[in-house]
Structure formats: structure tokens, C-alpha cells
Structure 1
Amino acid sequence: MGERDDVPWAMQLAFADERDRDGAGRPTHYAVCEAVASAVVTLLSDPRAVDGEWSAAVKHWSDLAIRKVVRRGRGVKFAAVRALPGVEVSHRGALVRAFVPGPVSEVAPEIAKLQVGGTDQPDRGTPSEPVPGGLTIALTPAVTMTTGKAAAQSGHAAQLAWWQMPADVRARWEASGWAVRVISPAPDAWDRLVKAAPVAVRDAGFTEVPPGTKTAIAWWPGSGLADDGTRLERDGGRPGWLGRLFGR
């Protein structure tokens, strides 16, 4: 596309972090993670990204060491970014906007004004209930991640799942509204799940966690794991595996 190959690209994502005077009303940790994951796939599947005006940028970014940056803002600052090219997802009190990927050196001023560091929601909340055809993502219990980091890893897992899953499974996921459930399993459950999940994310180690950390895994109906990850599906086939180093 004419850009220098050594300039990293990223998909920027932003969520509205509105709050009442007493600090209440903010979206929960789990809601943000789930909404970010859905927003990533909503943008990737958008006709403008598949074969339209966004497709060249999305393809260029997809061919690189993919990065995602999750930001937060409120009031007029968040309102300003809603006019920029992208898609929006509202989920359980979390409003997330995903923007067309681009060079990190050319982030729109409206997006650059939103906060990146310290993005950690005080209320963890609870995971969504399973939705037929939806995706389940599990975050590692081995390391502590802020909401911004965990949301970016959830987005990576959703993207890998979208790439890997069979077309009929993807169609059912789309019919669910790109439903995502994010859970945090106990260490012993994680050790079992990571061996069976068809998708795993290895982090590049730019922020918060050591390089190569498996930060998130994902699965879908028919891939071998039940929705909550507590048991193998009776008729599930042996899952494959797809991993890639991701930034943020």
C-alpha cells in the first residue's frame, strides 16, 4: 500500500466509559471484553472490509504482526470518534467502536485523545450466558491483565476463531449476532482447556505479559468443548489449533 514495512499497524478500539457522579454506571470488565471481541469480528465481516473501501487496509493489517489497541473515553471525546470510519457494538452496558486499521503513527487525533494506559474497570461483572451458535473465550489465570489488555486478547481470539472455523459454523455465529462469552477458568481448568481448545493466542509481549504467554483460548459448538469448558462434547471431533503472535 506504499507504507513503510517497518511501521506497525493496529486496529484501534474504543469503549464509552461513562459514569455517574458516584462512579457508578461504568461497563464491567467482562462486558467490555465481550463487546470488543464482537466488534472486531463485526468489522472484519463488514462488506466494506471484505470487498469494499476498507478491504485494502484490513488485508494489509492482517498480513502484518496484528495489533489491537483498546482505549476508553467519555463525553464529548467519545462522541467525537463515533463519526470516524468503523463499526459499533452495544452489549450489556458496554458501547464499543472498532475502527479501520491503520499505521500507529497516523492515528486520528480524535482517537489519540482517548486513554490507553490504566484502562481497568473496577467492576469485573460476570460472563454472559451461552448463546446458541456463539463463541466462548477463556482468559488465562496465569497472569493479571487490565481490562484493556484482556479485551485486546479477547479480540485476537475472536479473530482467530473467525478465520479458522468452518463456514457453516461461522454462519451460525453470525446469526447469533457474533455473540461472545468470556470466562476466566481456574488454573486446573485452564490447563485442561488449553490442550483441547482449537484456538489459542500467544502474546508478543509488548505490554503487561511476557512474550509468548498464552493469554486466551476460544472454542465454538462442535469444536470439542462444551460452552462452559467443563467437559468435552460427546461427539466433538479432535480440534485443530491455530496460533499467532499478537501485539498490544
Structure 2
Amino acid sequence: MEYVLTLVVRVEKGARPAQTDALETAARAVLAILSDDRSVGEGEWAEAMAGWQDARIRKVVRRARGAEWRRAEALPGITVTGRAAGDSPAEVRVFPPVPLEEVPKDLAKLQVSGTDFEDPEELPAPEPGLPVLWINPALEMSSGKAMAQCGHAAQLAWWELSPEERKEWAAADFALAVRTASPAQWQTLQGSGLPVVQDAGFTEVAPGSRTVIAAHPLLTR
């Protein structure tokens, strides 16, 4: 049985999130559900989370506004708010995985397209010591696709950490940065042994494309 994890980004009229804030928030949302008590042990989401992680960890990003967002918020899940300054920080709600044919109708009817965001200004360099998800500069991806890929990269890094290291990251509210690597950086990162997302190629990019590399300082000590 194939499971899918849905992420919904809030996109109101005149209040679109910034690109990088949306990517970072999606990654933090995935980490939030992975670490939630309901996702482990005897938790109510644990069986579904295990079934999803034991197979292809498929993620779909959809968008909602107004009544659509309110209906999505009424479903079991976790909402994570971005850290961008201003009046429109990203809001992403992540939902426990379900079999493909059992996606709740209030999520299934939400559109996947229309999630193309922009950053209002040039981004600063990531803070020293912060985990960074580096995007392949040679690929063109919609914001929704990139959000799913960043969530995947964060999950690969999470799997590599010890329980103590996971607690350390959780205590920092899963602080991380997302940046697009330079071509030279990407070449170096590919030989680093760090977790890398290799996409199945169902949408937007060719099968086997390497999309994001997770550079977590706890993995390079």
C-alpha cells in the first residue's frame, strides 16, 4: 500500500509567503510531524507514519486560502509558521500520511499548482552552525515541488541523527536554512557523503535528479 503525506501552504489574496520562508517552513513541518508523540510508539499516527516511511516517502504540496484553509485546519495535523519578518510569514500545515485513495476530500480538492513564490530581496548567508538544505542550481522547480524536496531532505537528515541529536534539533525548533547552491558548491556537496534527495521523476524533473542536499552540522562532526 502506498501512502502520501500532504502539506498545505496558506496562500491568501495579497498575502503570498516568500519563497525561502515557504521552503524552510515546509521542511520544519515535516520534522515536526516526524518528532510528534502521535507519530511514534503507540501514537495514533504511528502505524501510518511507519507504513509511509517503510515505502516511498511520497509528499504532495497543495495550497489553500480562506474557507479552504479553515477546513484544512479542522483536520488532524500540525501547523508550522515561518520566521520571515513582515505581515505574511509562511504557514504550512502537515497531515499524517494516508493511503493514496484515502486522502480526505477537503485536501484532495486543493490545487497543487499556483505555488510559485519569490523572495523580496537577496538572501544573506546562512548563520554559522545552522543546518542548510542546499538546492541544485541546475534544476528548475516550482515552489511546491521545491517545498516537497526540502521536506524530503530534512527527513533524510533526521534519519541520520541519533535520538539525542534529534532532541537537540527539536529544542531549537528545527532551525534550518534553505539556499540554492552555486555550481561549484553543488559539485563539492555531491562528494561530501551528506544526505541527498534523488527524485523519482514523476513531476517536473528527470528521474534520478539530485534535487537537495542536507548539510547538518551534526552529520559532519
Same fold (TM over 0.5): yes
SS of structure 2 residue aligned to 1:12: strand
Matching of residues 17-56 of structure 1 within 5 Å: 17-20=11-14, 25-51=15-41, 52-56=43-47
Q: Which amino acid aligns with 1:84?
A: L
- 1: CA distance, partners of 2:36 / 2:169: 14
Cα 1:162/1:126, change in 2 over 3 Å: farther
Which shifted more, 159-168 or 61-70?
A: 159-168
- Structure 1 contact 86–98 (Cα < 8 Å) conserved: yes
Q: Which consecutive residues of structure 2, in runs of 5 or more, have no partner in the other structure?
A: none
- Correspondence 1:77 to 2:68: yes
Q: Equivalent of 2:5, from 6, 11, 15?
A: 11
Give the TM-score, by structure 1 length.
0.81
- Structure 2 contact 196–214 (Cα < 8 Å) conserved: yes
Matching of residues 91-240 of structure 1 within 5 Å: 91=82, 92=84, 93-123=89-119, 130=126, 134-224=130-220, 236=221
- Correspondence 1:68 to 2:59: yes
Greater helix fraction, Structure 1 or Structure 2: 2
- 2: CA distance, partners of 1:13 / 1:138: 20
Identity of aligned residues (%): 43
Cα 1:206/1:145, change in 2 over 3 Å: same
Shift of 1:113: 2.3
Give the TM-score, by structure 2 length.
0.91
- Structure 2 contact 63–114 (Cα < 8 Å) conserved: no
**Residue of structure 2 equivalent to 1:229:** none
- 1: CA distance, partners of 2:96 / 2:171: 23
- Structure 1 contact 134–178 (Cα < 8 Å) conserved: no
Count of aligned positions: 215
Runs of 4+ that moved beyond 6 A: none
Name the structure, 1 or 2, with higher relative contact order (CA <8 Å, separation 6+): 2
